[in-house]
Chains A and B, each alone.
Chain A
């Protein structure tokens, strides 16, 4: 305990000294640092903040130092999160690399794969995308048909992926492919890695109702994938996919909880104003308060789950975190639209309405809300 408070003092002092002022301001989606070969920093401060955090290994605080991490224990990482939240420091690096494929490689990958990919992820040099859903296999993901044919030292991959987030900006893809068609659908899947610049990879952005194109269709035509780029054993991909889906659920479930964001109460005061110290609209006041209570409860649940996993190693709550977190984020945007009234309907670049429209995907991506409820019913409650 004493060591932790010593660590807290050090972290606090270091952050105070090193985190640039600009990096403590509330952030929008465009302010996210996702790294990668083609990433353009928004500011020198953003670049410097990433470099400083990379240097300490704090883009991936709990990874071993050998792979670019900070060697922190779970408790220390929690202290770091809390201290960053205290000064509303922005996350220096976000995305599929640090939160999805990195942890999977750390857990399941060969030593050579770790050496090849992890330090580059930690430094934000390579941006990743995820090749999961296919046109006919969304909720029924395990039915996927993208085929990887064995050619001795490599596979040749053919098929189509869809809803590939940021495939047009990503450098590498981690991709679920079918390596065996003779066995049950869950048993013939492998997780493979390849460079998006490989021959035969074509990406087409999909325009969404928000006007933006965060997702793509990805066509794979005779794409060569080296066998040493299989994560874990061949045909064991579904187990890793489930592990990754768990991570993804937790990541999406934590949506809207990034440090630096303003509270809904503050947004409400700004948009609606106060009358005798109370929000000027009583109905909105009630709804905002209800939302803030649910938000805090959800945050506390993520904290409790982390503490329980640290104490006992048991945790099966990612479906709940995803379900509730995304439903709540969508409610938040509906409330923001209501708070701002007609002002929120104005259509321009990076407007409220676009963020609201984008949020409609939250309860679909990473497994729909209904799939999460199925998972809770079957795996946790033992129904049906």
Chain B
């Protein structure tokens, strides 16, 4: 059993990521992207540098042109990206997209696409949700058989990176009714296929999401990812992976908020003393620190489960997401409150953490969704 400490290799990944993100992709970059209303929501130089560092290749196996590193290593990058508020297609392409491709793709699909993703030549996006609240079985978008093809009709929302990703991975209904786990299939759909209409939906975190209409979009049956009607198995596992990495991001956000707040408690003076001398604030800071320590443990364990004990991954993924959602809500709210008025100003960065946290919390299920899933997975 791997220990709950990082290996030397994972530590190295963490340190190199930390140096790069601090230098190049911090909150200042996000502010600039927002103020210039950059349509993609990220800086292409930063993404190019991530590609040069090999980040999109981390979760791709060596035989498919990747690095074949661990989820635990990737999780370090996700955590630090959270703390830096780094904007890039890394999560949608190199975590969620790669997972669905690796788990669902046949040999030909993997051989064709994974090396391109690993090399940073192809971006992906998961088009899963059809309503504001995540429920992956709630698929109404239909795929009707037409000879050797399928014809897709319906719409998806909250598609992260959906505005520019070249290939969409779309969950569709091939049998049954919305709410059924059976009857869902996954298709690879090029974003520029005829009938695909993308509407950018800028979110509160100034990043990119999209609503996508599919109006009689014809796709070849070779674009089916995994087996017909049984897409939910691949999708569920992909979402488990995605949620563990989102948990890592939430941990990074929470920890950075906390560190900034702690620093402020030591600097800001009122009544002639630093405000951190007041027990009312000390105890709140101590409780928040405790919650973040718990998050570190469950995130690391969930990452290790993805690498070593997949049978535990579903429960640990939901536990990690439920816990980090709670901590992130607390850390960002306390961050604003303990900074007082200045925390409410746009000039100050704290608001960016608050806004990003809520988007990550909501993506692929919030605390309530995952607590309910924990209960279901535990037999109640």
Chain A residues in 8 Å Cβ range of B276? 377, 381, 383-384
Q: A297-B295, A304-B300, A323-B290 are in contact. Are A311 and B5 (CB under 8 A)?
A: yes
Shortest distance in angstroms between A335's beta carbon and chain B's nearest beta carbon?
A: 13
Contact of A300 among B282, B297, B374, B378 (CB under 8 A): B297
Is the pair B262, A300 in contact by a Cβ cutoff of 8 Å? no
Chain A residues in 8 Å Cβ range of B372? 285-286, 289
Is the pair A289, B286 in contact by a Cβ cutoff of 8 Å? no
Interface residues of A in 298-332 (CB under 8 A from B): 298, 300-301, 303-304, 307-308, 310-312, 317, 320, 323-324
Is the pair A304, B297 in contact by a Cβ cutoff of 8 Å? yes
Is the pair A293, B283 in contact by a Cβ cutoff of 8 Å? no
Q: A307-B3, A383-B277, A384-B277 are in contact. Are A297 and B294 (CB under 8 A)?
A: yes
Is the pair A324, B290 in contact by a Cβ cutoff of 8 Å? yes
Is the pair B298, A279 in contact by a Cβ cutoff of 8 Å? no
Q: Does residue B147 face the partner (Cβ distance < 8 Å to A)?
A: no
Shortest distance in angstroms between A375's beta carbon and chain B's nearest beta carbon?
A: 8
Q: Does residue B313 face the partner (Cβ distance < 8 Å to A)?
A: no
Chain A residues in 8 Å Cβ range of B287? 373
Complex: chain A residue closest to B285, CB-CB: A381
Question: Measured between alpha carbons, how far is A52 from B18 in the docked complex, in Å?
Answer: 51
Is the pair A292, B289 in contact by a Cβ cutoff of 8 Å? no
User: Chain B interface secondary structure, helix, strand, loop or mixed?
Assistant: helix
Interface size, A (range): 35 or more
Q: Does residue A380 face the partner (Cβ distance < 8 Å to B)?
A: yes
Q: Does residue B375 face the partner (Cβ distance < 8 Å to A)?
A: yes
Q: A296-B298, A383-B276 are in contact. Are A317 and B286 (CB under 8 A)?
A: no
Chain B residues in 8 Å Cβ range of A293? 298, 319, 322-323, 371, 374
Q: Does residue A30 face the partner (Cβ distance < 8 Å to B)?
A: no
Question: Measured between alpha carbons, how far is A269 from B376 in the docked complex, in Å?
Answer: 12
Is the pair A268, B380 in contact by a Cβ cutoff of 8 Å? yes
Number of interface residues of B (CB under 8 A): 40
Is the pair B375, A383 in contact by a Cβ cutoff of 8 Å? no
Interface residues of A in 128-154 (CB under 8 A from B): none
Is the pair B371, A286 in contact by a Cβ cutoff of 8 Å? yes
Is the pair A304, B4 in contact by a Cβ cutoff of 8 Å? yes
| Residue in B300, B322, B380 whose Cβ sees the most chain A Cβ within 10 Å | B380
Question: Measured between alpha carbons, how far is A259 from B296 in the docked complex, in Å?
Answer: 24
Q: Does residue A31 face the partner (Cβ distance < 8 Å to B)?
A: no
CB 8 Å contact bits of B359-378 with A (1 = contact, 0 = none): 00000000010011011101
CB 8 Å contact bits of B252-279 with A (1 = contact, 0 = none): 0000000000100110000000101111
Question: Measured between alpha carbons, how far is A297 from B296 in the docked complex, in Å?
Answer: 9
Q: List 16 interface pairs A-B (beta carbons < 8 Å), by A numbering.
A: A263-B378, A269-B379, A286-B368, A293-B371, A297-B323, A301-B296, A304-B296, A308-B5, A320-B293, A324-B290, A374-B286, A377-B279, A377-B283, A381-B276, A382-B266, A384-B282
Please give the residue numbers on chain B whose beta carbons come within 8 Å of chain A beta carbons, in ascending order.
1, 3-5, 262, 265-266, 274, 276-279, 281-283, 285-287, 289-290, 293-298, 300-301, 319, 322-323, 368, 371-372, 374-376, 378-380
11 other A-B residue contacts (CB within 8 Å) besides A297-B319, A304-B301, A383-B276: A263-B378, A285-B380, A289-B322, A294-B323, A296-B319, A297-B298, A300-B297, A304-B300, A307-B5, A383-B282, A384-B282
Please give the residue numbers on chain A whose beta carbons come within 8 Å of chain B beta carbons, in ascending order.
82, 263, 265, 268-269, 274, 277-279, 285-286, 288-290, 292-294, 296-298, 300-301, 303-304, 307-308, 310-312, 317, 320, 323-324, 370, 372-374, 376-378, 380-384
